[in-house]
Structure 1
Amino acid sequence: MHTTTAQAGGRTDLLSGILGVEIRNEEKITAQDRLFCEKQQEMLYNALEQIDQWYGIFTKEAEKYRESHKISYKENGEISYTEKLYPDDSNYSHHEFRPFKSINMLASANHSANQNFASRIIGYFNRTYNVSVPVPEIDGDTLKMGFRPQYMTHVDTVIEHLGGRSFRKTAEDELIKRFLQLVKPNRWSKVKPELKGNKISFPNIVIFDSFYNDFYNKNSMNYSSHQKMSDFCEGIAFGADDVLCGDREMVMRLNRNEVDTSIWYDLTTTNATGMKFFRNGRIDVRFKDREAASLCFNRLRLDELRLQEE
């Protein structure tokens, strides 16, 4: 297995080698993937074992109150009970510990642990392979106490999401989809991304906070633009250098709270060399030559974008 050392966002693109592996039925995940999943499953089982032990102790104690409190159990292990409206205070029984709330807390912990397990397994593949597999919701009403999930159930969810594609191809498709969603012209727009020699112009990408501009004369990106910049830089790094590790850190010396619109910011990517911001939200990206700009434009499928009037 080989990896490349192309730089983007200050990080090494370690994904190139492993992302190109096509999915096979007999070898769906790597040994490293399997090791992570097995360790997560082992830790989950340890936690569930402790939950089950306490659950057994408290449900045994609850049997003392089966008749007096009319207890019953739901499918997920929660207990239903009836408290007396006017407890008998002729003795001290109303001071006794009753395990009902503890039982329900343990049933809730059982559900939370199973949901966390699903999130960790699928989150691992999302982070490792730059894909966006949604985490399934575990039904807390039907999840039984004592249930032990298998990590391959969640791995199969990941594989199904790929639809027969490689991790790399899936990551590329999802990245391009996010990027096109970001840069596509709105319904009333008269402009769209445009290839201009060794530059590409992207209108209406970021929004600068009017308050900071009016009172401090500073170009500060508003909160919504922070994620937009990450998605934008991710796309530029892929379009320019064919890597999947781009982020806003690739724009050298950029301070999002004080953007200088008079200069070109240097980039850490090889084929994209500079980025310039404009007060109207436009961003220009400069490349090392016309060929690199054209390659990025086509790789990101920017030629597919259309204005409403076209």
Structure 2
Amino acid sequence: MVLARKTFDIEAAAVQGLAARVGPEFAEAVALILDCRGRVVVMGMGKSGHIGRKVAATLASTGTPALFVHPAEASHGDLGMITADDVVLAISNSGESEELTVILPVLNRQGVPLVAITGGLQSTLAKQARVTLDSGVVVEACPLNLAPTASTTAQLAMGDALAVALLDARGFREEDFARSHPGGALGRKLLTHISDVMRSGDAVPMVRLDTNFTDLMREMSAKGLGAAAVVDGSQRVLGIFTDGDLRRLIEKGVDLRSSHAGEVMHPNPQTVRADALAVEAVALMEQHRINSVLVVDDAGALCGALNTNDLMRAKVI
């Protein structure tokens, strides 16, 4: 437990120490990447390589096209993945990783801008880089001061700081984030439209004003929405009849056998547009405490319907 707490203290101090080093070099690195017409190619060996993969993924998901290229593979053909339009972000604590330093002259000859994240400010990597970001640490959290621990934490924090600064500079918004995360909860909320999840065509329960109560119940049962729309000859929505309406009428002792849809419907129901976000339907249902909502077009004609089960299947709620 003592060693665990000491690890937290050492790594927290390593990250805190980076704040004082964010200066002109950091701003220059951000500007260089913003001006990049290609991609950010992240490179690193060993533990720095694992950090590099995460940094590349974070950059890519926040509006900066990026990929990871392994330095050892680069010298055996993968250098062809890097063009003069790219920026290389090289990560190495010592700045002397052989697999990385051996390809630096080739990158320079190609005119590829190089940004280094390293603790070795006098290293080969730092000397070859156009911009060097200091990620050095006083001591590793490892009690032997050998295993990369505090140093990799500092590298990761520096990479995240770059990604966040670039995100802000690009004006990256929630909608942009959602587009690169369509499978996530945020993506579903910001990208799923009502037209994507609604029932349409013959799946929509629909009756006319003069439909008798028996046929109304048959339509509701057959379509399984828990409600039926009541429409006129142009399919404009006039009302809705729901399972809840049925329950309330039965509780009141109303004789429904001779009733028609127009007599039992709830007039002027809540409706939504097909091009609205599905979360808007969720908000509408919660606000009015309803389980189903009808979807209409510009003319107010019925074009679809959905209920909470449809939204749950789409994982919008």
Task: Tell which has more relative contact order, 1 or 2 (C-alpha 8 A, sep 6+).
Answer: 1
Query: Which protein is richer in strand relative to its size?
Result: 2
TM-score by length of 1: 0.23
